[in-house]
Amino acid sequence: MKERLIQLIKSEDKKNPYTDDQLAGILGARRDEVTILRGELGIPDSRERKKPYLVNALKELILQNVKISDRELTRLLNRQGFNVSRFIVSQLRKEIVGNMNPKNTSSVM
């Protein structure tokens, strides 16, 4: 089951990775077994696996238009294939802006 889990995660859609529940269904196992196995293998959960791709896409969109609304960002990201909510976009935007250097922060807000 370990090898199959690793293969599934390697081949998943990076914009919308499998949840433990989905992996359990594919593997014919219980969700808690998948969660434990994923943890033992040091594989992050689906949100953490998606985050780097989502953050990069979000940064790119923000740099194109610093005054873009969270609603429009969410719409564009969903159009790119991500399945995200406006809440997640808003939270990540705050995180991104907080991590930018002071020169860039004023232009993003």
Q: 62 with 87, same domain?
A: yes
Domain count, the chain: 2
Q: 94 with 63, same domain?
A: yes
Q: 53 with 85, same domain?
A: yes
Q: By the 8 A CB rule, do 89 and 70 touch?
A: yes
* 29-81 residue pLDDT tens: 999 999 999 999 999 999 999 999 999 999 999 999 989 999 999 999 999 99
pLDDT over 60 (residue 103) = no
Q: 19 with 72, same domain?
A: no
Task: Please tell me what DSSP assigns to residue 84.
Answer: -
Q: How far apart are CA 73 and CA 90, in angstroms?
A: 9
Q: Is this model's pTM higher than 0.85 or not? A: no
Q: By the 8 A CB rule, do 94 and 88 touch?
A: no
Q: Domain span at residue 96?
A: 47-108
Q: 34 with 65, same domain?
A: no
Which of these, 14, 87, 94, 19, lies nearest to 54 by C-alpha position? 14
Q: By the 8 A CB rule, do 38 and 45 touch?
A: yes
Q: 12 with 35, same domain?
A: yes
Q: 51 with 29, same domain?
A: no
Q: 65 with 99, same domain?
A: yes
Q: 19 with 36, same domain?
A: yes
